Amino acid sequence: METIQAAAEKFGYIVVASNNSRNGPTANPAEAANAMWRDTQQRFPIAEQRRYFAGMSGGARVAISIALSCHDCVAGVIANAAGFSPGMEPPHNIKFAYFAAVGNADFNYGEFVKLRRKLDDAGAQYRIRIFDGPHGWAPPEVWFEALNWIDIRAMSAGTLPRDPSRIQQTAAEELARAREFQSQNNLLAALRQFESLVRDFKGLADVSSAENSVAELRNSKAVKAAEKEEASAVAQQAELTGKLSAQMQAIASHDLRNNDLHNNDSDNVNVGDIRSRLAELKKRGRVEVHRSERAGSAPGTWRTGG
């Protein structure tokens, strides 16, 4: 609540959160969502076309799931640190706006690389914002961007009166960010920022300059190489952590009395194997830090953004 407060006060949003919702096999997030829905609908004069869901990690997946199932009950979702639930795809008739925020050191970063392509294929109105940090809620400055973005989407949809000055200022800021990425030779981030600018402001502002930049960068060999490098890094992460992640998730649904689990069948968890894999990841991490320090770059961070 404190993270979102300043942005909410600036743009006039009511922010409501559950005090006791949680992840896990005994959790009931739908109950928390229904309680907040009933409470806010009874207490406040909320514009029916300006309701939004937000969540972090498992909560982000819950927010998306409810938005997809409630038949146009919300105008948008602000997802932090996680995308769609496993097995769930963005539908081609997706109607709500989707703003996602993920840290460049988040273990869920890789899923957003794949999700970006799916959202493009679905023709969704979306933005994926990458910030510096690990798994968690986006910092306050990103919330200013998120709430401003969903306001711009509302202006485009006609559910909020258009403010030409605000639209032009925001478009100019987005263009400046894209050009800054370009000046830093972070061309993949620049391409995605230009694409986002075109997607968000076409019909609201002049985006011809951004369209030209998209066409130029899309054919760039450097961009194609950066995309391959990113895909390779995501695949490597999945290879290193896939089985470990599955085993650790399985722990939550097992009785860990005496910590005596063995890999006798597919339903059991091998704690020794988990410890071994964690040790290997720590070892690799120390090697990467050493290499990064020798190369003069920051360890453990993704170079792409936008």
Q: Characterize 198-228 residue by residue with b for buried, 16 or more Cβ atoms within 10 angstroms of its Cβ, and e for exposed.
A: bbbbeebbebeebeebbeebeeeeebeebee
How many angstroms separate the CA atoms of 261 and 252, rounded?
Answer: 13
Half-sphere exposure in the Cβ direction for 66 (13 Å, CA) = 27
The residue ranking higher by pLDDT, 21 or 197, is 197
Q: How is the chain split into domains, by residue range?
A: 2-160, 163-219, 233-295
Q: What percent of the chain has pLDDT over 70?
A: 78
Q: State mean pLDDT over 20-39.
A: 79
Q: What is the DSSP string of 205-221?
A: B--HHHHHHHHHHHT-H
Q: What is the pLDDT of residue 297?
A: 37
Q: Where are the alpha helices (DSSP H) in 80-220?
A: 109-122, 140-157, 164-183, 187-201, 208-218
Average per-residue pLDDT for the chain: 84
Cβ contact 214:195 at 8 Å: yes
What does the block give as tokens for 124? 């969704």
Closest to 229 (Cα-Cα) out of 86, 113, 128: 113
Q: How confident is the model at residue 235 (pLDDT cuts 50, 70, 90)?
A: confident
Q: What confidence category does residue 266 fall into, taking pLDDT thresholds of 50, 70 and 90? A: very low
Nearest CA to 36 out of 58, 55, 49 is that of 55
pLDDT higher than 50, residue 190: yes
The residue that leads in pLDDT, 26 or 121, is: 121
Specify whether domain 2-160 bears CATH 3.40.50.1820.
yes
Q: Are 128 and 115 in contact (CB under 8 A)?
A: yes
pLDDT for residue 255 is more than 90: no
What pLDDT, on the 0 to 100 scale, is given for residue 281? 66
DSSP tag of 259: G
Residues 22-41 have a mean pLDDT of 81
Q: What is the spatial distance between Cα 136 and Cα 118, in angstroms, rounded to a whole number?
A: 23
Angle, alpha carbons 199-201-203 (nearest 5°): 105
Model confidence, pTM: 0.81
Angle in degrees, CA 203, 154, 135, rounded to 5: 110
Amino acid identity at 305: G
What angle separates helix 29-43 from helix 58-69, to the nearest 10 degrees? 60
